[in-house]
Structure 1
Amino acid sequence: MSQSTSFLDEVELLQNILVSHATNGPAYDGDYAALRASLLGRADYAPLVPKFVRTCRDLSQFWQFIKHKFPSYAERRSYIWDEFRPLLERIEGSGVSPADSAVTAAIEKFDGEYVLAAWHKALERKQTDPEGAITMARTLLETVCKHILDERSVAYGESPDLPELYRFTSKALNLAPSQHTEGVFKQILGGCQSVVEGLGALRNKLSDAHGTGKRAVKPVARHAELAVNLSGALALYLLATLDAIGAAQSRR
């Protein structure tokens, strides 16, 4: 058995132990502690480790978490499987790149549950549901922008479109092209605005957000890959900028 296969087995065993404990099955507290320590020791996979694994040091703590979060066994099983899926797919080499992990880490640091859910859905759908992935790519940026604007106490109205949301956000973070005089920065920041507008247009043309006619163009995996990667890169940039502003203000 190869090292990667052995690690995959460990992660699957950890998942099964948590499912067992969440559904009134046998408890394997010692095994959980050992597997958890092994997993957290792998820095290359750390961003994809479910948050409850990082925070629950033993099964008693996990039980206090899961019993209040979901009342039924079925909900608990589905939740645990969904939370482990990005990590297992990364180990299996099914399309999760180091850049995906960087975005995941930034979102988890921001502690935005809805943002993380949108990102995971976008990743999960890239290969099997390109239309849905493109829709979630746009949803990710919309959600990130709204969370940042809420953090910065900036009003954005009832139903702004994505380009408008991004303009509000870039201005709040001092990323609007008009806020800079250096030509290269204006060009790069203007390019970010163009990417946002392009993602909105791509979503309108190729996603599942609208009804389509007989001659509608169907997106394929490479279209979804482009949309998700672009939205992830912009989300990471925006969240990193917000974090830098917060750190600078705390030093004053």
Structure 2
Amino acid sequence: MEELFIKIDDFQSLLIGIATGDSDSYNDDEGYEKLRKEILSFSEINELLPYFVKNKRSPKQFWDFIKPKYPSYAERRNFINESFEKVLEYAESLPYTRKKDFDDGIRTKIDKFDEYIVSEWDKALERKNTDPDGAITMSRTLVETTCKFILDNLGEEHKSSHDLPKLYKLTANKLNLSPTQHSEQILKQILGGCTSIVVGVGALRNELGDSHGKSTSQPKPSSIYAELAVNLAGTMTTFLLESYESIL
């Protein structure tokens, strides 16, 4: 997660400051103790942490350790950087906190409109890592349900036989989001892109989702595509709902 990566990176920088004669770093007992305790609280990285993080409890203790070990600042800096390389790589590979903020932000925006849409967003999030084809199907369902919700509330007739592109076209026309309703080239381009996204999410569901039978030899879709489909569907859902709200 981003939070863990930042804390480790900050502590590494603090140690480099101590090792290269920076007085502010050497005298920052409070900052050293706080960062060290926070990092040690993440039990999953315990084996990857440099040993001196675990047993040097103050800037002075670390200085007394590093000073005789390497005579030059360059050697000390290289040693610290190499010691943190594996744990930083691991922290960088974890899902970022800002991704959770993105997911939660979408949920907050759609929560005031319809509980069923929120439920489908939550299902898409739950499935994207463990059930990618299911997540892709839920992404399409999320946008479809959003379109139907808006059309129903605006009194616009639609048929159960309408596929996603048709539902989106009806919705876009009611919300003034159709490229043909605008003369500015940039708006036509962006709104045309939105149409392509919705059509693409629907096509991805048909190709990689779990709504159709598949050959046993066909591999499961990558979680990367599930992540893409969920993110696109969530973005389009909030865009549609906020556009709907703006005309009420």
Q: What is the TM-score normalised by the length of structure 2? A: 0.60
Q: Does 1:147 align with 2:149?
A: yes
Q: Which residue of 1 aligns with 2:226?
A: 224
* Contact residue 177 and residue 190 of structure 1 kept, 8 A: yes
* Equivalence map 1:85-164=2 (5 Å): 97-110=100-113, 112-164=114-166
Q: Secondary structure at the match of 2:158?
A: coil
- List per-residue Cα deviations over 1:132-166 (Å, max 9, x = no partner): 10010001001100001111111111221000000
Distance in 2 separating the partners of 1:196 and 1:116: 19
Q: Which residue of 2 aligns with 1:179?
A: 181
Distance in 2 separating the partners of 1:95 and 1:136: 22
Q: Where does structure 2 lack aligned partners over 5 or more consecutive residues? A: 1-36, 42-94
What amino acid maps onto 1:98 in structure 2? D
* Contact residue 96 and residue 123 of structure 1 kept, 8 A: no
Instruction: Give the count of matched residue pairs.
Output: 158
Q: Secondary structure at the match of 1:97?
A: helix
> How much does 1:121 deviate?
0.1
What amino acid maps onto 1:230 in structure 2? L
Distance in 1 separating the partners of 2:167 and 2:217: 31
What amino acid maps onto 2:188 in structure 1? K
> How much does 1:245 deviate?
1.4
Judged with a 3 Å threshold, the aligned counterparts in structure 2 of structure 1 residues 150 and 130 are, in CA distance, closer, same or farther, namely same
* Equivalence map 1:1-252=2 (5 Å): 97-110=100-113, 112-246=114-248
Distance in 1 separating the partners of 2:238 and 2:124: 15
> How much does 1:99 deviate?
1.8
**Structure index of larger Rg:** 2
Q: Where does structure 1 lack aligned partners over 5 or more consecutive residues? A: 6-91, 247-252
Q: Which residue of 1 aligns with 2:60?
A: none
> How much does 1:216 deviate?
2.4
Q: Which residue of 2 aligns with 1:32?
A: none
Distance in 2 separating the partners of 1:97 and 1:180: 35
Q: CA RMSD in A?
A: 2.1
Judged with a 3 Å threshold, the aligned counterparts in structure 2 of structure 1 residues 94 and 208 are, in CA distance, closer, same or farther, namely farther
Q: Which residue of 2 aligns with 1:25?
A: none
Q: Which residue of 2 aligns with 1:43?
A: none
Q: Secondary structure at the match of 2:118?
A: helix
* Contact residue 133 and residue 228 of structure 1 kept, 8 A: yes
* Contact residue 206 and residue 217 of structure 1 kept, 8 A: no
Judged with a 3 Å threshold, the aligned counterparts in structure 2 of structure 1 residues 93 and 180 are, in CA distance, closer, same or farther, namely closer
Q: Secondary structure at the match of 1:241?
A: helix
* Contact residue 134 and residue 227 of structure 1 kept, 8 A: yes
* Aligned-residue identity in percent: 49
Distance in 2 separating the partners of 1:215 and 1:185: 43
Judged with a 3 Å threshold, the aligned counterparts in structure 2 of structure 1 residues 162 and 183 are, in CA distance, closer, same or farther, namely same
Distance in 1 separating the partners of 2:199 and 2:217: 24
> How much does 1:176 deviate?
0.5
Distance in 2 separating the partners of 1:113 and 1:183: 36
- List per-residue Cα deviations over 1:37-57 (Å, max 9, x = no partner): xxxxxxxxxxxxxxxxxxxxx
Judged with a 3 Å threshold, the aligned counterparts in structure 2 of structure 1 residues 95 and 223 are, in CA distance, closer, same or farther, namely farther
Q: What is the TM-score normalised by the length of structure 1? A: 0.59
Q: Which residue of 2 aligns with 1:68?
A: none
